[in-house]
Amino acid sequence: MIEKKSKYSRSVDQSSLLLRLRAGDEDAFAELFYTFYDKLFGFVFGLIHSKAKAEDIVQEVFLKIWQNRADMVDVENINAFLFRIAQNQAIDHLRKLAREVLATSIHFELDSQNNTPEPLELLIDNELKEKLSEAVKQLPPQQQKIYTLYKEQGIRQDEIAKQLNLSRSTIQSHMKLAVGNIHKYLSLYYSELLIVAVLMSI
């Protein structure tokens, strides 16, 4: 692990830092690490609530950055880039844990029924998709419409607002309510861990 030395400034010239990093400048990498480590750790820990795993994930983020530094030609905002990688790593971790929980449940159910199962991964995906679809169908009509347009059809919120003649803040409010209602429905069937993983991935 790189020691976070005080010689590095918290104020970063991102363009210069990226150029040096892509060129393989180890000091630039150390500066990047020192500047963003604590922020990334706090962000990841807030998502997964495990200090040890958060440390592992942040280390993995910086390892990916160093290993792929030459390919970062399209990166303009290193801050956003780092946090996006960290979020994806955290989501992957939550998905893995959630799938382990669900897999245990499905194994128990299959054993009790003495059935010959489909591949376990397919069973998990099918069950999650089915329950998520049920949750969406339980939403009030306006929430369901907005959720479907945004999450399933990929239409931007400002475009949805124009289509439905509503303000963008109203669309955001309906989306927040929809996610809350989906969470409430899924909580009838799954652990909080699994629900978080599902909601973060949709």
User: Is the pLDDT score of 192 beyond 80?
Assistant: no
Q: Where are the domains of the chain?
A: 1-117, 118-201
* 195 or 39: which leads in pLDDT: 39
Same CATH fold assignment for domains 1-117 and 118-201: no
| Three-class SS of 43-103 | HHHHHHCCHHHHHHHHHHHHHHHHHCHHHHHHCCCHHHHHHHHHHHHHHHHHHHHHHHHHH
Instruction: Give the whole-number percent of the chain exceeding pLDDT 90.
Output: 35
Do residues 31 and 17 touch, judged by C-beta distance below 8 A?
yes
The pair of three-digit structure tokens given for residue 86, joined into one six-digit string: 């960290």
- pLDDT, tens digit (0-9, with 9 covering 90-100), for 5-24: 445 545 567 788 888 998 99
CA distances from 36 to 4, 9, 15, 86, 165 (A): 10, 11, 15, 11, 41
Question: CATH number of the domain at 118-201, please?
Answer: 1.10.10.10
- The 3-state DSSP class for residue 40 equals helix
Instruction: Give the whole-number percent of the chain exceeding pLDDT 70.
Output: 72
Q: What is the mean pLDDT of residues 118-128?
A: 54
**Can you give the pLDDT at residue 113?**
45
pTM beyond 0.95: the answer is no
* 100 or 56: which leads in pLDDT: 56
Q: What is the mean pLDDT of residues 91-120?
A: 55
Question: CATH number of the domain at 1-117, please?
Answer: 1.10.1740.10
CB atoms within 10 A of CB 81: 17
**Can you give the pLDDT at residue 95?**
74
* 174 or 183: which leads in pLDDT: 174
CB atoms within 10 A of CB 156: 12
Query: 115 pLDDT band (50/70/90 cuts)?
Result: very low
First to last CA, the chain: 34
User: Could you give the CA distance from residue 110 to residue 119 in angstroms, rounded to a whole number?
Assistant: 12
Is residue 46 left, alpha or beta, with left meaning phi > 0 and alpha meaning psi from -120 to 50? Answer: alpha
- pLDDT, tens digit (0-9, with 9 covering 90-100), for 127-182: 677 888 888 899 999 999 999 998 878 898 999 999 999 999 999 999 989 988 88
Name which of 41, 2, 49 is nearest 192 in CA terms: 49
**Can you give the pLDDT at residue 101?**
55
